[in-house]
Amino acid sequence: MHSKKYEVEIGGKKITAIFSDLADQANGSVILECDGTVIMATAVISKDGDKNPGFFNLTVEYLEKFYAAGKILGSQFSHREGRPSDQAILAARMTDRTIRPLFDHHIKNAVQVIVTVIAIGKADPKTLAVNAASIALHISDIPWKGPVGAVHISKEKDSENEKNDIKINNYIPNADEPVYSLDLLVCGKDQTINMIEAMAFEEEESEMGKCFDLAIVEITKWEDFQNKLRSELGKEKLSFPKIETPADVIELFNERVKPMLEEGLFSKDSKKIINESETIWKSIIDEKYPTYDDKDKYVAHDYMHHYLDHAFHNAALTKNMRADGRALDEIRSLYAQAGGLSSTLHGSGIFYRGETHVLSVLTLAGPESMHTIDGIEFSAKKRFMHHYNFPPYSSGETGRVGGLNRREMGHGFLAEKALTPVIPDKIDFPYTIRVVSESVASNGSTSQASICASTIALMDGGVPIKTPVAGISIGAMIDLEDKSKYVLLSDIQGPEDHYGDMDFKVAGTKDGITAIQLDVKVDGIKADILKEGLIRAKTARLKIIETIESQIASPRKEISENAPKILVTKIKKDQIGMVIGPGGKNINAIREETGAEITIEEDGTVFVTGRNGGAEKAKKIIEEMTHEYAIGDIAEGEVVKLMDFGAFVRISSGTEGLVHISEIAPFRVEKVSDILKEGDEVPVKIIKIDERGRLNLSIKDANSEFFQPKK
């Protein structure tokens, strides 16, 4: 093996890039190592573009191997890795969203980037993955306008000085509760930012802007390092000339289609007109040029998108004109509805923002329903989940139903991050919480509408969230000839999302930001534009929250009667085994008797979930089992066994004591059965506890008048 090593320091940590002939069939490859975490990235471009699907064909895979964590998972029948974990899908999306804008999309050859996690140490594999993918592409012969750098910026949640405790590349594996008050991944190049993924506990806009500036400083170090690597190791880039649109095709478009677009492009029907014009244009091409192959047809069809891109940019930059005629900072009409669908649901919310409509439904369950995560980075249980669905009818189309795609996963997780900071603590609200958002009509940023609808559903269901959360997407139209010229667009809709340069999703409360996701279609966005976007997003967010609160001002005082009841009690750690019993005998008996589910935490916290009184009954049994009596305590008990020398009385589940014959009554008792019989309920007082924990009880000391001499 031939190999070379190069080192760079980012955020105070040494990162080693290793180049060898290990994966020498790939167009580019690298191994990155930091604090024991090892990532390998490869980049490959296909030999030709004959099987091009009609768009730029980039796939990014993030492969987790359990050997990386020294684990063998799976059943006894299969120990191979199965479907990608949620974290792997999200990591692949983040890498994809970072590198995709930097390709020339006229390239028809397929490009594939595969990142493999080889070992898990003390560095974040997801951040290293983006940088490794950039290096593999940058040194390869694949045309790409990189490099990019990725940096993780965070504040620890339990930090005493959260506002100033900003750390770079401070990796803490996520557990069942958030570990950061700010969890921010920023990617970019050339003093600009082209991808952001963030969760925050109501971070102020000004503070978030400072983090952007800090990230750019560290990203520049990554760029300098990668440019050095390319100067020593880089291959000559392949050439894929762009096919120009034939003049006769342009003339035909201007004659047959352009007039239709000019007539209604900037109106409330713009989306409909674009769709109709695209269908007509394709049929014209098929009719006029029957000999065109797929490549020629793609070039001709694509000209319409170039026209629309220019039309929307020109109108916004020169006339402050938007596709649907709104002002640049105007939000579409808003509507909110809490509940009202069915009394069987635990909670529901409907939210409209223009033609984007989302239905969110809440389900509450006990701790036993928590989602178990067993991955290569951590093993944990998750009590709050948000799931997002985008059925084909929401965009007026037919298509496959079922399964889960990366887009749905990413949108669902973004809303989950936005809402997590306001979810009540487990000890205060021990329910497992699942919200499902159905995108039922789509015309721009359904993910942010999902956040709004989910907030409504949570409050409708009586979940005591700390404050409402709303999300909005801010777009941008930038003059590529003079990038100092730009306009921001509040609440982007379909055409502005498709032809605009930025999709800047910002969610938060009245007091601060809870989540950010940035995607771009240009090389990058200047930090100053993003800072302005944060302010624009806050203004829109406050208006949306006002609409939500006009429908439901605060969480309902009671949860749905259809939701299970959860009661909480506490036992000592050394009592856990007694409650569970040998082989689960005791706890299973309680479950069978009461119908309740019982979850016991390692610290002795017991959550009892049940319906129709089952939770109350199970809690009482557990508290009786674990109650530690002291001398002098008074209790009620049942006589369970008579002996010549006294009677045994059960004062709680699993706890019995002896009442000696002399302690039954304040007079002489000749025969126990003259006074007591099995099943009697009697008051008792604990008068002695021996060294083995056995109880001696007294009825006469508990109530001297309980038994009177028989006549």
Contact predicate 560/461, CB 8 Å: yes
506 φ, ψ to 5°? -130, 125
Q: What is the 3-state secondary structure (H, E, C) of 224-275?
A: HHHHHHHHHHCCCCCCCCCCCCCHHHHHHHHHHCHHHHHHHCCCCCHHHHHH
Please give the C-alpha separations between residue 565 and each of 168, 429, 470, 609, in angstroms, as whole numbers. 43, 11, 29, 6
Note the pLDDT of residue 451. 98
DSSP per-residue codes, 109-150: S-EEEEEEEEE--SS-HHHHHHHHHHHHHHHSSS------EE
Single-letter amino acid code for the residue at 384: F
Q: If DSSP codes are grouped into helix, strand and coil, which group holds residue 538? A: helix
Mean pLDDT of the region 519-530: 96
Note the pLDDT of residue 30. 98
User: Smallest Cα–Cα separation from 451: which of 333, 358, 363, 330?
Assistant: 358
Note the pLDDT of residue 316. 95
Q: How far apart are the first and last CA of the chain?
A: 105
Structurally, at CATH architecture level, domain 565-626 sits in 2-Layer Sandwich (3.30)
Note the pLDDT of residue 711. 46
Mean pLDDT of the region 443-448: 93
Q: How far apart are CA 195 and CA 199, in angstroms?
A: 14
pLDDT of residue 162 exceeding 60, the answer is no
Q: At what angle do helices 125-139 and 86-99 cross, to 10 degrees?
A: 40
65 φ, ψ to 5°? -115, 130
User: Smallest Cα–Cα separation from 388: which of 61, 81, 89, 58?
Assistant: 89
Q: If DSSP codes are grouped into helix, strand and coil, which group holds residue 9? A: strand
pLDDT of residue 487 exceeding 60, the answer is yes
Q: What's the order of all strands across the beta sheet hosting 432-441?
A: 334-338, 347-353, 356-365, 432-441, 384-389
Contact predicate 381/599, CB 8 Å: no
Same fold, 565-626 and 634-698: no
Note the pLDDT of residue 157. 83
Q: If DSSP codes are grouped into helix, strand and coil, which group holds residue 703? A: coil
Take residue 61 and report the two structure tokens written for it.
């895979």
* Eight-state DSSP code of residue 78: B
Mean pLDDT of the region 523-530: 96
Take residue 12 and report the two structure tokens written for it.
């105070």
Q: If DSSP codes are grouped into helix, strand and coil, which group holds residue 565? A: strand
Note the pLDDT of residue 160. 55
Mean pLDDT of the region 32-53: 92
Rg of the chain (C-alpha set): 33
pLDDT of residue 709 exceeding 70, the answer is no
User: Smallest Cα–Cα separation from 427: which of 597, 558, 601, 587?
Assistant: 601
Note the pLDDT of residue 352. 98
Burial 238-273 (b: 16+ CB within 10 A, else e): eeeeeeeeeeebbebbeeebbeebeeebbeeebbeb
Band the pLDDT of 323: cuts 50, 70, 90: confident
- Give the domain ranges of the chain: 3-230, 247-319, 334-551, 565-626, 634-698
CATH, domain range 334-551: 3.30.230.70
**pLDDT tens, 340-388?**
999 899 999 999 999 999 999 999 999 988 888 777 887 778 899 999 9
Q: Which helix (H) or strand (E) holds 433?
A: strand 432-441
CATH, domain range 3-230: 3.30.230.70
Q: Which helix (H) or strand (E) holds 63?
A: strand 58-64
Note the pLDDT of residue 364. 96
DSSP per-residue codes, 625-638: HH----TT-EEEEE
Band the pLDDT of 534: cuts 50, 70, 90: very high
Q: Name residue, tokens 């993030």.
A: 62
Take residue 694 and report the two structure tokens written for it.
């056995």
Other C-beta atoms closer than 10 Å to the C-beta of 672 total 19
Q: What's the order of all strands across the beta sheet hosting 111-119?
A: 3-10, 13-20, 28-34, 37-45, 111-119, 58-64
Q: How far apart are CA 280 and CA 285, in angstroms?
A: 9
Band the pLDDT of 682: cuts 50, 70, 90: very high
Count the residues in the chain.
711
HSE value, Cβ hemisphere, 13 Å, CA-based, for 666: 9
Please give the C-alpha separations between residue 192 and each of 113, 497, 512, in angstroms, as whole numbers. 23, 20, 24
Q: Of 72-81, 114-123, 149-158, 269-278, give the lowest mean pLDDT range.
A: 72-81
> 634-698 adopts what CATH topology?
OB fold (Dihydrolipoamide Acetyltransferase, E2P) (2.40.50)
Please name every residue paired with 39 in a beta bridge, in sequence order, or none if there are none. 32, 117
* Eight-state DSSP code of residue 562: T
Q: What percent of the chain has pLDDT over 70?
A: 97
**pLDDT tens, 548-597?**
999 999 999 999 888 999 999 999 998 899 899 999 999 999 999 999 99
Contact predicate 518/187, CB 8 Å: no
Mean of the per-residue pLDDT values of the chain: 92
Take residue 587 and report the two structure tokens written for it.
């706890």
Q: Of 8-22, 166-180, 655-669, give the lowest mean pLDDT range.
A: 166-180
Other C-beta atoms closer than 10 Å to the C-beta of 562 total 15
User: Smallest Cα–Cα separation from 201: which of 246, 155, 133, 232?
Assistant: 155
Note the pLDDT of residue 547. 97
Mean pLDDT of the region 260-269: 84
Band the pLDDT of 164: cuts 50, 70, 90: low
Q: What angle do CA 456, 460, 461 make, to 5 degrees?
A: 120
Contact predicate 415/349, CB 8 Å: no
Cα-Cα-Cα-Cα torsion 332, 336, 340, 344, nearest 10 degrees, comes to 110
